[in-house]
């Protein structure tokens, strides 16, 4: 297997609410909800970077498609890391997330490893880390 991701799918409880959070609140580009004509097909995709999309899909649809039972989600199963170019940009994105309705779970601060980071949860509890890492500056 080549180590390549093309889509990261988040299970959500309310597709419309999550669409508003990511599109209107965080400003991610999307064509909106597609696939509504199919049972368990409604989904929204967001452009992240070339070759990578974020998808939001109802939790029940993901359980149906994977044939796994619905379970209570845990916000500490994984994080989505958004690396930015400066400490100031961390603060800007954290404010944007809070304004969009995110729960700030750890305010941005200096990290023990030399960077600067904070954490928020989206409306479904998915944990995002907004981070400036002086050793991993994004190239955009």
CA distance 114 to 14: 37
| DSSP-derived secondary structure letter, 26 | S
Q: Is the predicted pLDDT of residue 88 greater than 90, yes or no?
A: yes
Structural domains in the chain plus CATH codes: 7-66 (3.10.180.10), 79-132 (3.10.180.10)
pTM of the prediction? 0.91
CB atoms within 10 A of CB 22: 22
Q: How sure is the predictor about 4, in pLDDT bands with cuts at 50, 70 and 90? A: confident
CB atoms within 10 A of CB 104: 14
CA distance 90 to 94: 6
CA distance 28 to 83: 15
């Amino acid at each position: 297997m080549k180590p390549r991701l093309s889509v990261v799918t988040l299970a959500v409880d309310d597709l419309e609410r999550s669409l508003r959070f990511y599109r209107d609140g965080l400003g991610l580009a999307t064509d909106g909800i597609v696939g509504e004509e199919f049972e368990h097909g409604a989904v929204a995709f967001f452009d992240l970077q070339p070759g990578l999309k974020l998808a939001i899909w109802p939790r029940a649809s993901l359980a149906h498609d994977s044939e796994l039972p619905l379970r209570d989600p845990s916000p500490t199963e994984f994080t989505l890391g958004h690396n930015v170019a400066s400490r100031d940009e961390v603060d800007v994105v954290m404010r944007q997330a809070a304004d969009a309705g995110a729960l700030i779970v750890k305010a941005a601060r200096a990290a023990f490893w030399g960077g600067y980071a904070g954490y928020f949860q989206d409306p479904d509890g998915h944990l995002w880390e907004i981070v400036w890492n002086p050793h991993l500056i994004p190239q955009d």
